[in-house]
Amino acid sequence: MSSLKYVLVASALLVLSAIYIASALIEQDKQLNFITPVKQFLLLTQEELSTLSYPVQSIESFYAASNKVSKEEFSDYTTVLFEHYKALTGVAYFDNEIFNGGAKEAQLWEAAGISNATAEQAIYDATQLQMLSNLEVGKTATTPIFKEIDRNLIGVFYRMHGSEGILLLLFDFEKAFRLVLDNEIAEDFVLHETIDDKRVLIYDHIINKNVSLDSYTSTLNFFDRNWEITVRRQFSPGQYWYLIIPLLSAVIAFFIFSMHKYSLRLSRMHNEKSEAIEQLKFAQEKIIESEKINAMGGLVAGISHEVNTPLGISITSSSHMKELLAELDMDFKNGVLDSDKFEDFLSTAKDITDLSIKNMQRASKLVASFKRVAVLNSDDASQLEEVDVTTLINDYVAAYRINSDNSKIQFETQLPSSARIKTYPTVITQILSYLTSNTLIHAMKPGQQQCEITITLTPSGDAYEFMFCDNGIGVNEQDLKKVFEPFFTTKRGAGNAGLGLSVVYNLVKSKLESDVHYDSVPDEGFCISFLLHDLN
């Protein structure tokens, strides 16, 4: 009988140990796969909500910097804000008459993606406007969340300093909470707010009705409102697999212990790898920063080198001209100026003036070339149009044949009958022009009378692959790595600044949103290709 008791006690201890281990594993799973990720997601969400105060500060600074803001200026400025802050859907401005019983309507209003009815609801709702009576300067008053068809919006009133009036900013609640809504772990949550000492549900996003008992509660701040967010963990049978352990503890106790040790080992390895990844990211950021600094240094050095030569010649010529004028003045005052000396002066002055003008014109052309490198702000490339790229290329080739006196370039095109996409036609024409000029300057072999350019356009999924090839001298392997660097040219002695392919690279990357591919075989030619996407 005593041996049976020992067996029962041992079995009970084994089961209790198994229960303890199972509980520990469940809690660890909860921390690793739920609590810790949710904390991180909520921290990121709070950071993103905090950035939504920047448009308020930005608009107030905009008003403070201007005596009067016109409707066009207001529209242009808010359009930029809409592009940078996707959660921002509307901005309204009220003047100070609203505090004196004046008209309860906005003097300026801009919206992005919301209906006029929604704008009127947010602006003219008398209940909302009553919030302004006690609104202090520099403070905000946030409206409750309200519905607009299939979206939830929230308004923020802000009283600007001085006599600038009041701003109303409308935010798309779902976009503001995108980090939580787009994450599977944290997508089931509810928001509460304490109003008049009562805990009120203001928003819920429960996708899976069958949720476990695990949850995590924290606080989020949105301007002057404090929300309590509770994230519920989705139910998964896998969370409770560990409960089988006590039932099988007599057989697999040692196995459970080993698995626990293995779990801890995996956790430690995970932390070590995470730390290594963070260190690698830090090192990559430092390398990128160093490369940017080196590139900027090279750009400045290139500009200085290119501009310094013509400016130096112009300064030297002007100094020499000054000396000649001083000699002429002295001869005149001494009465020894004769016609021969004066003719010599005129001849020399003409040569010096021509030299100065020529070099100043070269400096001016260089500066104009430098400006073309900054294609991100190009006014000509700012309009998207739906065009037929086949027609665009054919028109360019035809215009080049008609307008160019140079017969060294022969075009061959391999194009589909039609290739309609929404893109920047001016940019494509500029790229064709730069590539043709580059071929004309660099591609000719010694004694070669003509160079053939082949332009190919091939469908590639939703895009078209554009390829521009010549049968010229090509580029050697050493120079091929540098062809897109600003100021790199193999024909500097011929007056070339080396900016053509650099401009092409910037246009393709920044405006056409594509990657540049290129290749060259010496004595066989040079090819460049990229995808023309539909930018709609």
Which of 240-249, 394-403, 409-418, 429-438 is predicted least confidently? 240-249
Is residue 495's pLDDT more than 50? no
Asked whether residue 318 is assigned to any structural domain, the reply reads: yes
Domain boundary among 373, 407, 439: 373
Calculate ∠ Cα 172-178-180, nearest 5°: 130
Asked whether residue 282 is assigned to any structural domain, the reply reads: no
Same domain, yes or no, for 509 and 426? yes
Q: Are 535 and 422 in contact (CB under 8 A)?
A: yes
How many Cα atoms within 13 Å fall on the side-chain side of residue 302? 22
Asked whether residue 144 is assigned to any structural domain, the reply reads: yes
Same domain, yes or no, for 99 and 163? yes
Query: 211 by DSSP, 3-state: which?
Result: strand
What pLDDT score was predicted for residue 290? Answer: 52
- Look over the chain and give the mean of its residue pLDDT values, rounded to a whole number: 76
Is residue 370's pLDDT more than 60? no
Q: Are 172 and 189 in contact (CB under 8 A)?
A: no
Q: Which of 382, 463, 484 lies closest to 427, judged by CA? A: 382
What pLDDT score was predicted for residue 70? Answer: 87
With bands split at pLDDT 50, 70 and 90, how would you rate the model's confidence at 488?
low
What pLDDT score was predicted for residue 530? Answer: 92
Q: Which domain holds residue 369?
A: 291-373
Is residue 99's pLDDT more than 50? yes
Mapping DSSP onto H, E and C, the string for 82-103 reads: HHHCCCEEEEEEECHHHHHCCC
Pick the most confident of 276-285, 342-351, 386-395, 510-519. 386-395
What pLDDT score was predicted for residue 504? Answer: 85
Same domain, yes or no, for 303 and 391? no
Beta bridge partners of 189: 205, 231
Asked whether residue 33 is assigned to any structural domain, the reply reads: yes
Same domain, yes or no, for 142 and 224? no
Same domain, yes or no, for 112 and 211? no
Domain boundary among 322, 346, 373: 373
Beta bridge partners of 421: 387
Same domain, yes or no, for 40 and 188? yes
Asked whether residue 283 is assigned to any structural domain, the reply reads: no
Q: Which of 91, 114, 110, 235 lies closest to 174, judged by CA? A: 114
With bands split at pLDDT 50, 70 and 90, how would you rate the model's confidence at 458?
very high
Query: 423 by DSSP, 3-state: which?
Result: strand
With bands split at pLDDT 50, 70 and 90, how would you rate the model's confidence at 127?
very low
Q: Which of 61, 60, 63, 121 lies closest to 89, judged by CA? A: 121
pTM of the model: 0.42
Is residue 250's pLDDT more than 70? no
What pLDDT score was predicted for residue 233? Answer: 79
Same domain, yes or no, for 198 and 224? yes
Same domain, yes or no, for 225 and 194? yes
Q: Who contacts 413 (Cβ-Cβ below 8 Å, separation ≥6)? A: 393, 394, 397, 454, 455, 456
pLDDT (average), residues 242-269: 66
Asked whether residue 284 is assigned to any structural domain, the reply reads: no
CA–CA dist 329, 384 (Å, integer): 62
pLDDT, tens only, 3-28? 434 445 555 676 677 677 777 777 78
Same domain, yes or no, for 484 and 496? yes
What pLDDT score was predicted for residue 389? Answer: 92
Asked whether residue 262 is assigned to any structural domain, the reply reads: no
Same domain, yes or no, for 147 and 63? yes
Is residue 212's pLDDT more than 80? no
pLDDT (average), residues 114-138: 60
What pLDDT score was predicted for residue 242? Answer: 66
Domain count for the chain, please give it: 4
CA–CA dist 354, 357 (Å, integer): 5
What pLDDT score was predicted for residue 507? Answer: 86
Same domain, yes or no, for 147 and 205? no
Can you give the CATH number for the domain in which 510 is found? 3.30.565.10
With bands split at pLDDT 50, 70 and 90, how would you rate the model's confidence at 376?
very low
Is residue 467's pLDDT more than 90? yes
What pLDDT score was predicted for residue 469? Answer: 92
What pLDDT score was predicted for residue 457? Answer: 93
Can you give the CATH number for the domain in which 104 is found? 3.30.450.20
Same domain, yes or no, for 225 and 359? no
With bands split at pLDDT 50, 70 and 90, how would you rate the model's confidence at 1?
very low
What pLDDT score was predicted for residue 205? Answer: 78
Domain boundary among 188, 223, 247: 247
Asked whether residue 257 is assigned to any structural domain, the reply reads: no
**Single-letter amino acid, residue 138:** G
Is residue 30's pLDDT more than 90? no
